[in-house]
Amino acid sequence: MVEVQGVRFRYKDGPEMDFPDFFCGAGDRMLLLGNSGSGKTTLLHLLCGLLRPASGKLAVAGRDLGASTDRELDVWRGDDVGIVFQRAHFVQSLTVVENLALPHQLTHGSVPADVLHRMDSMLDRLGIAHRAAALPHELSVGEQQRASIARALLHQPKVVFADEPTSALDDHNASAVMDILDREAADATLVVVTHDQRLKDRYSYCVTLERLAP
Amino acid sequence: MTLGLSYQAWRNLRAKPLQTALSLALLAFGVGMVSLMLLTEKQVNDAFARNIKDIDLVLGAKGSPLQLILANVYHIDAPTGNILQSEADKVLKHPYIASGIPLAYGDNHEGYRIVGTDHTYVEHYGAEVNRGRLWSEPFEVTLGARVAAQLNMELGDTFFSAHGLTDQTDVHTDKTFTVVGILEANGSVLDQLILTPMESIWNVHAHEGEVVDPATREITAMLLKKRNPLAVLTLPNVLRETNMQVALPAIEVNRMTQQFGLGTAALRAIAMLIMALSFASIFISVLDNIRARRHELALMRTMGGTPATLYRLLLLEGGLLSVAGTLLGLALSRVGMAILGQVVENQFHYDLDAFTVLPSEGLLVVAAVSVGLLASAIPARSSLRLDISQTLSEA
């Protein structure tokens, strides 16, 4: 489902980054552990097709990213990939519900009724149903994080990437958020990118990114 | 759920009410001023042109030629004085002159001029009788459409005339005018006049039983139509030794509008400046939006939005602003026109139509909307080059 082979990347004027090979099967969950500066976010962006590698093979959710056009990747992200960002970004002028429906709108040009139905029950399970009509900046950090999880999972993606989903949260909230992720993404492949040692024992499959050579 | 790009653009504009209001107000004022100037210029020029209609020369007492024209063609100024009818008739017989319409006035009713003339005046402007008939006997009057409507007068109504052209202080209570007809409105100066035989004017100022000596009968002016273009050059010489002059309406009106022209040019420059400012404000707000909302835009790219989607969204925001501002401007110019029309009506009894749409305004709309789109299209281009990965990594 997620396959990384000999992937190298370098930013303009930056050192070359060399990423470990790994494979993650359908429905599996894995942890990409690394300290800051180890290229975690870079790898995540590579996996989402937001960055293109200098060399190597990246296959995610049945798609060979190197062989896909930007346009194809835009649609693919909307259809098959869910991303939970470290900081929950929202379109500030739209309500929570509208933000959650936005991926469907952008990918398919409309929001079907069954998505709205799924959204209702998901908001209910995540305990933010009462915030549905609020604007994003009116939500607490924890609520924002839950809303962004709901948005990433609503279109039932094949792969879910979570970038430091717990780093801004206390112990209690961190484990609550991870429980939610586990539960809601039960049918998807889940890749959690983090430096949060609290999560180390959560999954048996863990790939550690080494600090880059200076 | 409505969540199309237009809706998103609308929500984004509403999320920044102050910025949106500023851009809207600037554009509305710019467009409004330009449109208001187009409207007034067109309508004033039309009114002037309509009333000049085939009047080549105006014969009247010596004085300001412009005043002679304004008083006798447009009835918005006091006359320069009176001339003897016998002298005017001599000019009418000049071989270069084809025909003439005599005008005699000096009285008013409720601010509307009572003008003594003959039926050729009505024929000249192609006016039709709406109700009743044209005047035939002294002290019979036919009302212009505006006069009848404003004073709420009907056939058979009677009134006294007042001396002078505006006030009601000195009323001639011994002579009663009777309404025998009302003209169809035709947009000419006749709409605002009370027409009657010349004899009414002469008799109203005569004492009881007195008969006015035909040799001393006076008129105010005569509207002349020339037979030969040389009339323009010859008549001033002919009239040199008399107390009369001829003036050319076309030339006097031209001279006057040229003097207005300087003022309108300055106003037009200001309006253009305001419009330019509004486009700059749209440009800046789109640019600012891209900077402030780059996380949002990058986010949309991770959720299936293409660069074209972002570009269209930003263009829609600018386009929506331009269209709304332009429409608001047109509405504003109508309000301005209605207010201006009220003032003009009260002072000059002229009608300005606030609700006409000019072809040149269509051009104004197209120009304003396309420049508005351009002002958003240029900064929006940077959304096509947005580095999603880097933007999302920024803390």
Sheet holding A206-208, edge to edge: A81-84, A159-163, A189-194, A29-33, A206-208
Query: Residue B90 has what DSSP assignment?
Result: H
Cβ pair B389:A45 closer than 8 A: yes
Reduced to 3 states (helix: H, G, I; strand: E, B; else coil), residue B38 is helix
CB B303 within 8 A of CB A106: yes
Would you list the DSSP string of A170-208?
Answer: -HHHHHHHHHHHHHHTTTSEEEEEE--GGGTTT-S-EEE
From start to end of B62-170, where are the E strands? 83-84, 97-109, 112-116, 129-132, 140-143, 158-163
When comparing pLDDT for B198 and B42, which is higher? Answer: B198
Same domain, B309 and B370: yes
Question: What pLDDT is stored for residue B211 in this prediction?
Answer: 65
Supply φ then ψ for residue A59, to 5 degrees: -125, 125
Cβ pair A92:B300 closer than 8 A: no
B284-299: pLDDT as tens digits: 888 888 888 888 898 8
| Mean pLDDT on B146-171 | 86
Same domain, B93 and B163: yes
Same domain, B106 and B242: yes
| Mean pLDDT on B3-11 | 90
Measured between CA atoms, the residue of chain B closest to residue A152 is B303
Question: What pLDDT is stored for residue A211 in this prediction?
Answer: 65
Question: What pLDDT is stored for residue B210 in this prediction?
Answer: 63
Residue B120 confidence (pLDDT) above 90: yes
Nearest to B1 among A42, A92, A101 (CB): A101
Buried b (16+ CB within 10 A) or exposed e, B159-198: bebbeebeeeeeeeeeeebebbbbbebbbbbbbbbbbbbb
Same domain, B279 and B349: yes
Q: How far apart are CA B323 and CA A92, in angstroms?
A: 24
Nearest to B391 by CA among B298, B318, B323: B298
Question: What pLDDT is stored for residue A214 in this prediction?
Answer: 45
Q: How far is CA B36 from the centre of its chain?
A: 10
Q: Which residues of B touch A111 (CB under 8 A)?
A: 1, 3
pLDDT class for B212, splitting at 50, 70, 90? low
ipTM of the complex: 0.85
pLDDT class for B37, splitting at 50, 70, 90? confident
Domain A2-208: give its CATH architecture. Answer: 3-Layer(aba) Sandwich (3.40)
Q: In terms of C-beta density within 10 A (0-12 exposed, 13-18 middle, 19 or more buried), how is residue A13 classed?
A: exposed
What is the nearest CA distance from A174 to chain B, expressed in angstroms?
Answer: 20
CB B332 within 8 A of CB B32: yes
User: Percent of chain B scored above 70 by pLDDT?
Assistant: 95
CB A7 within 8 A of CB A58: yes
Q: Which residues of B touch A89 (CB under 8 A)?
A: 295-296, 298-299, 392
Of the ranges B1-15, B76-90, B159-173, which one carries the lowest mean pLDDT score? B159-173
Q: How far apart are CA B47 and CA B365, in angstroms?
A: 25
Cβ pair A103:B303 closer than 8 A: yes
What residue spans define the domains of chain A? 2-208
When comparing pLDDT for B295 and B345, which is higher? Answer: B295
Q: How far is CA B156 from the centre of its chain?
A: 33
Tally Cβ neighbours within 10 Å of residue A176: 18
In a domain, B122, yes or no: yes
Question: What pLDDT is stored for residue B241 in this prediction?
Answer: 85
Residue B33 confidence (pLDDT) above 90: no
Tally Cβ neighbours within 10 Å of residue A113: 8
| Mean pLDDT on B50-55 | 82
What is the nearest CA distance from A155 to chain B, expressed in angstroms?
Answer: 10
The residues, any chain, with a CB within 8 Å of residue B57's CB and separated by 6 or more, are B223, B224, B226, B231, B232, B235, B246, B247, B248, B249
pLDDT class for B349, splitting at 50, 70, 90? low
Q: How far apart are CA B343 and CA B167, in angstroms?
A: 18
Would you list the DSSP string of B366-391?
Answer: HHHHHHHHHHHHHHHGGGGG--HHHH
B307-348 and B17-52 helices cross at what angle (nearest 10)? 40
Q: Report the domain count for chain B.
A: 2
Same domain, B170 and B117: yes
Question: What pLDDT is stored for residue B208 in this prediction?
Answer: 58
| Mean pLDDT on A186-205 | 88
Q: Domain range for residue B71?
A: 57-247
Q: Chain B: which residues have CB within 8 Å of chain A?
A: 1, 3-4, 8, 11-12, 14-15, 293, 295-296, 298-307, 309, 388-389, 392-393, 395
Mean pLDDT, chain B, integer: 87
What is the nearest CA distance from B377 to chain A, expressed in angstroms?
Answer: 21
A115-132: pLDDT as tens digits: 899 999 889 988 899 999
| Mean pLDDT on B93-106 | 91
Of the ranges A89-98, A183-192, B338-347, B380-389, which one carries the lowest mean pLDDT score? B338-347
pTM for the whole structure: 0.73
- Strand-pairing partners, residue B160, are B176
Question: What pLDDT is stored for residue B165 in this prediction?
Answer: 73
Same domain, B354 and B317: yes
Same domain, B92 and B228: yes
What is the nearest CA distance from B15 to chain A, expressed in angstroms?
Answer: 5
Residue with tokens 């429906």: A101
Nearest to B302 among A83, A92, A93 (CB): A83
pLDDT class for B209, splitting at 50, 70, 90? low
Same domain, B67 and B44: no
Q: Which residues of B touch A91 (CB under 8 A)?
A: 8, 296, 299-300
In a domain, B24, yes or no: yes
CB B101 within 8 A of CB B189: no
User: Which of B247, B275, B296 is at the close of a domain?
Assistant: B247
Measured between CA atoms, the residue of chain A closest to residue B293 is A91
Same domain, B63 and B44: no
Question: What pLDDT is stored for residue B164 in this prediction?
Answer: 80
Q: How far apart are CA B199 and CA B172, in angstroms?
A: 15
What is the nearest CA distance from B286 to chain A, expressed in angstroms?
Answer: 15
| Mean pLDDT on A39-68 | 90
Nearest to B295 by CA among B385, B387, B380, B376: B387
Same domain, B314 and B356: yes
Same domain, B326 and B243: no
Nearest to B304 among A41, A74, A92 (CB): A74
| Cα maximum dimension of chain A | 53
Residue A35 confidence (pLDDT) above 70: yes
In a domain, B254, yes or no: no
Q: Which residues of A touch B302 (CB under 8 A)?
A: 48, 50, 77, 81, 83
Residue with tokens 């304004």: B70
Q: Which residues of B touch A106 (CB under 8 A)?
A: 300, 303-305, 309
pLDDT class for B143, splitting at 50, 70, 90? very high
Question: What pLDDT is stored for residue B268 in this prediction?
Answer: 81
Q: Which residues of A touch B295 (CB under 8 A)?
A: 89
Same domain, B17 and B92: no
Mean pLDDT, chain A, integer: 88
pLDDT class for A160, splitting at 50, 70, 90? very high
Q: Which residues of B touch A92 (CB under 8 A)?
A: 15, 293, 296
The residues, any chain, with a CB within 8 Å of residue B231's CB and separated by 6 or more, are B56, B57, B94, B96, B97, B224
Chain A contact probe: residue of B1, B2, B20, B311 with most A CBs at under 10 A: B1
Residue A190 confidence (pLDDT) above 90: yes
Residue B104 confidence (pLDDT) above 90: yes
